Chain A
Amino acid sequence: MATAVAAIARPIQFEQASLWSDAWRRLRRNRLALVATIYLAVLVAVALVSTVWTPYRMSAIGVTQTYAPPSAAHLLGADELGRDILSRLMVGAQVSIVVGVGTQVLVLIVGVPIGLLAGYYKGWLDSVISFVINVFYGIPDILVAMILVFLLGPSLRNIIISIVVTRWMDMARLVRGQALSLREREFVEAGRAAGARPVKMLFGHILPNALGPIIVQATFGIPAAILFEAFLSFLGVGVQPPTPSWGSMANEGVASIQYAPHMVIAPSIALSLTLMAFNFLGDGLRDALDPRTRR
């Protein structure tokens, strides 16, 4: 009896289900996304470790027989100059992460404000911005990127710039769409009626509500950027030696595919797993953050 009374007496706790905790709960249940997150955490850890230590110095030439297949001393074998592939793979992770994250940070900085302005203010500003976005869409990105990298010189910084220049429109268009639909909602009306200043409106009200899709877009943008850099490296305009990038390692590996297939397999798998992980994570985030989808 006492327990029953105690049970009744205790106030019923309703979980405060905010969008974020709800999303987090759903994300946690998505096994693929979870595995992907773990993989990415390991990847970041490996990249961090590689800044201070790798099994062999990544540019040390001739530490073993050239084209050596995987062995106990060299888990992934050696490349055409006798360098340890595992060490280079680890350092290559740095490049991929910097490219992936760096481009998306810049895309956010460039694309979000532009999208907000276009979607919120509409009118002539929107027309101009939309026109510019459409023009950029009309140009094949790799071609522009190649030309840009050639103009500026191949370096990690310039590659990031080229990727941002050719892909900022995705974010801008998304944010514009979000702003367009959000501006009609009541809380925005209320805010405007209360006399809130535009900056506060944009960044205080609209942006937080658009954050979900923005995060998803950025998450999908990372593998796209990494893939882009791999393409550029494969074509020979990526990061320059001796800095290894998975794309250029794959390029060197492909050249020797018949003689030393291990050279192409390692960076290819690394690339594919990383891209897959980001894609699965993005899927998971999208499912978790979008209240409409059901499982």
Chain B
Amino acid sequence: MTPASLRFLKAMCVAAAGSMVLAACGNNPTTSTNLAADQTLKFPILGDFGTLDPAQLNAETDSEIAQNVFNGLVKFDNNLNIVPDIASAMPTVSADGLTYTFKLRQDVTFSNGDKVTSADVLYSWNRAAAEQGAYATNLAAIDGYAKVSANTVNGGAALEALLEKKDPSVILSGLSAPDPSTVAVKLSGPAGWFLSAIALEATTAMIVDQKVVKTDFDNWWTKPETAIGTGAYKISSYVPKTSIDFAAVDNWWGSPKPTLKKVHIDILGNAHSAINAYEQGSYDLYGYGGYSNAPVDDILRIQGTANEKSQLLLHPKVRTTWVAFNLVHDAKRPAAGPFLCPPQTKAMEDTCSTPAGAAAKNLRLAFALAVDKTKLATVVCHDIVCAPATGGLITKGLIGYAGDNTDPLAKFDAAQAMSLLKQGDPDGSKTKGLTYTYDPNNPLNASVAQFLQDQWQTNLGIHVDLQPVDHSAFIHGYLAGKYVLNRQGWQADYNHPQDWVDNLWGSITGCPDANCGGGYDTKAYDDAIAAADALPLEQAIPKYQAIMKTLEDDAIYIPLYYSQGAFLIKPYVKGAGTNNFFDYYWNQIQILSH
């Protein structure tokens, strides 16, 4: 409404006696008369999803879409609290913290009408664990996971046959279904992160219908007739790489009941075209579907456009980007470089801060302090799409965040950097021929790389070459220890520090030899994370913070920035939005008349 008509309406309200006018005076007119007749939501995404099979999916787009099609026992609500979903209530936990008992709702059905029972839960989890997709480790705390994860039949009709037979090699021994509406989960050890992992939307803990999965074990999700889930929406048509349509499921068991009848997604590939189309009215939203890293210049332009400014929603996302140093050089990690921590003995002690490792540590500190992170955020991100990472690697807003300006590695001190450089490399020989490797797929990475090069040149007088390597090769490379200096980043899956410490450093993830950036692994680290992982979250927080502090003390990274997402939402779209992790579910969205 324009301000003028609003004033008029207010005047009317004051003078009104009739109830009809009073109804319109309410602040949030959500009566059905305000809803548009055509409840179709249209928005663009920039790349097709890879898969919608919960056992396999691992990309943000996959999960932002699949979260509306599948459900798990528990889920995160909009405020990131864990609440029951298919379960009727939060699970009862045994005294020793090892057994979780879930009671299922009686009214949950798949979109084809099949009733959901505990057998479906067991089937889904066993299948996901046996397939060993990217997020299979969400189920790692369950007793028997180690055996199932070692099975070699990872898909196809063969795996289906094994699951039907209940072959022990693919059945998690810790799962049991005492009756059709009860699931009992026995963990192999206390794990405070277990509930967070299985609440993770759209991934391995989501429930699928064995009846349809059987018909085409690997590709059942590609056809609307067999892409069956328990969510409020189901695929109604899919043209690969072009568009996807979803329709609301009739008589859906959950709440709020969906208002949107249809969701239409176009796959466009070009962010500028997508934003232009949004501005022209072809789309109701931009940024949904995992594509919230909008180009900076478009955001600047929209911020300068009067009638569009209010449609822009900027929200922190749980992603941190930093520079990783190569710390280990051995038979499996070919890269060397001047930043290495001294070699450890079999006891895996932390050598990074010992006198022997002082020179290398000074160099790491020098490189860290020579980068002006505030200037980076201003110049590269225009203070819009990123903010300097001053509180440690765990993103601001997440549990485990250390607090603003607590990370000494985030400081900028060119003089100090120079003096540390002199101490670490007096004759300048060690810092010759360095290369910073990055993947240029996200345009921000290239800008950041050039910024870093400029900073090290200006503030340290050191020339560092830039090496762009395509994303998949890049991942191969840094996991294989090929790079001395490289970009690294992490997007949190759920609000639990375990997601960070278990997956980035230490032997759980494969450090120091493989599957690890930087190579950091010490016995102290492994012990610390094992202890913290076993505790319930509230008790574990100080332990996790201590772990992150160790990383700071050892100076194994250069923190760069926390990411921000940008969304465009038309004023007539109600209920759309985002939290740090995911875009709000579609069944919460309504289209007002406009």
Q: Chain B contacts of A158 at CB under 8 A? A: none
A195 lies within 8 A of chain B by Cβ? no
A167 to B88, CA, bound (A): 69
Residues 211-266 (chain A) with a chain B CB within 8 angstroms: 236, 240-242, 255-260
Q: Chain B contacts of A198 at CB under 8 A? A: none
Residues 162-193 (chain A) with a chain B CB within 8 angstroms: none
B296 and A241 contacting across the interface, CB-CB below 8 Å: no
Residue in B296, B300, B450, B470 whose beta carbon sits within 8 Å of that of A59 in the complex: B450
Size range of the chain A interface in the assembly = 20 to 34
A82 to B295, CA, bound (A): 16
Q: Known interface pairs A80-B447, A240-B468, A241-B446. Does A61 touch B379 (Cβ–Cβ under 8 Å)? A: yes
Q: Chain A contacts of B440 at CB under 8 A? A: 236, 240
A60 to B301, CA, bound (A): 25
A120 lies within 8 A of chain B by Cβ? no
Q: Chain B contacts of A54 at CB under 8 A? A: none
A81 lies within 8 A of chain B by Cβ? yes
Residues 40-63 (chain A) with a chain B CB within 8 angstroms: 59-62
A67 lies within 8 A of chain B by Cβ? yes
A259 and B453 contacting across the interface, CB-CB below 8 Å: no
Residues 430-489 (chain B) with a chain A CB within 8 angstroms: 440, 443, 446-447, 449-451, 453-454, 457-458, 466, 468, 470
Write the chain A residue with the least CB distance to B452: A61
B241 lies within 8 A of chain A by Cβ? no
A30 lies within 8 A of chain B by Cβ? no
Q: Give the Cβ gap from A247 to chain B, nearest Cβ, in Å.
A: 15
Q: Known interface pairs A80-B297, A255-B297. Does A154 touch B447 (Cβ–Cβ under 8 Å)? A: no
B330 lies within 8 A of chain A by Cβ? no
Write the chain B residue with the least CB distance to A83: B450
Q: Chain B contacts of A256 at CB under 8 A? A: 295, 297
Residue in B276, B298, B449 whose beta carbon sits within 8 Å of that of A241 in the complex: B449
A66 and B382 contacting across the interface, CB-CB below 8 Å: yes
Q: Give the Cβ gap from B55 to chain A, nearest Cβ, in Å.
A: 32
B454 and A66 contacting across the interface, CB-CB below 8 Å: no
A82 to B381, CA, bound (A): 12
Residues 130-174 (chain B) with a chain A CB within 8 angstroms: none
Q: Chain A contacts of B295 at CB under 8 A? A: 255-256
A259 to B304, CA, bound (A): 10
Residue in B300, B380, B454 whose beta carbon sits within 8 Å of that of A67 in the complex: B300
A99 to B296, CA, bound (A): 32
A67 and B297 contacting across the interface, CB-CB below 8 Å: yes
B450 and A255 contacting across the interface, CB-CB below 8 Å: no
A267 to B60, CA, bound (A): 36
Q: Give the Cβ gap from B478 to chain A, nearest Cβ, in Å.
A: 17
Q: Chain A contacts of B379 at CB under 8 A? A: 61-62, 66, 81-82
Q: Give the Cβ gap from B98 to chain A, nearest Cβ, in Å.
A: 51
Q: Give the Cβ gap from A259 to chain B, nearest Cβ, in Å.
A: 4
B272 and A241 contacting across the interface, CB-CB below 8 Å: no
Per-position binary interface string of chain A over residues 61-86, scored 1 when its CB falls under 8 Å from any chain B CB and 0 otherwise: 11000110000000000001110000
Q: Give the Cβ gap from B124 to chain A, nearest Cβ, in Å.
A: 39
Write the chain A residue with the least CB distance to B447: A81
Q: Chain B contacts of A154 at CB under 8 A? A: 468
B453 and A59 contacting across the interface, CB-CB below 8 Å: yes
Q: Chain B contacts of A236 at CB under 8 A? A: 440
A260 to B468, CA, bound (A): 26
Q: Give the Cβ gap from A245 to chain B, nearest Cβ, in Å.
A: 14
Q: Known interface pairs A154-B468, A241-B466. Does A258 touch B301 (Cβ–Cβ under 8 Å)? A: yes
Residue in B272, B375, B451, B466 whose beta carbon sits within 8 Å of that of A240 in the complex: B466
A61 and B300 contacting across the interface, CB-CB below 8 Å: no
Q: Chain A contacts of B454 at CB under 8 A? A: 59-61
Q: Chain A contacts of B375 at CB under 8 A? A: 62
A240 to B470, CA, bound (A): 12
Q: Chain B contacts of A60 at CB under 8 A? A: 454, 458
Per-position binary interface string of chain B over residues 246-275, scored 1 when its CB falls under 8 Å from any chain A CB and 0 otherwise: 000000000000000000000000001000
Q: Known interface pairs A82-B379, A242-B466, A255-B272. Does A61 touch B297 (Cβ–Cβ under 8 Å)? A: no
A66 to B379, CA, bound (A): 7
A259 to B380, CA, bound (A): 16
Q: Give the Cβ gap from A282 to chain B, nearest Cβ, in Å.
A: 35
Q: Chain A contacts of B380 at CB under 8 A? A: 81
A281 to B301, CA, bound (A): 42
Per-position binary interface string of chain B over residues 373-391, scored 1 when its CB falls under 8 Å from any chain A CB and 0 otherwise: 0010001101000000000
A80 and B466 contacting across the interface, CB-CB below 8 Å: no
For the A-B complex with A67-B297, A67-B300 known, give 20 more contacts whose Cβ atoms are closer than 8 Å.
Answer: A59-B453, A59-B454, A60-B458, A62-B379, A66-B379, A81-B451, A150-B470, A240-B440, A240-B466, A241-B449, A241-B450, A241-B468, A255-B272, A255-B443, A258-B276, A258-B297, A258-B298, A259-B297, A259-B298, A259-B301
Sample of 15 A–B contacts (CB below 8 Å):
A59-B450, A59-B453, A60-B454, A61-B451, A61-B454, A62-B375, A66-B379, A241-B446, A241-B450, A242-B453, A242-B466, A255-B295, A255-B297, A256-B295, A259-B300
Closest 8 CB pairs of A and B: A259-B297, A256-B297, A259-B301, A61-B454, A62-B379, A242-B450, A240-B468, A61-B451
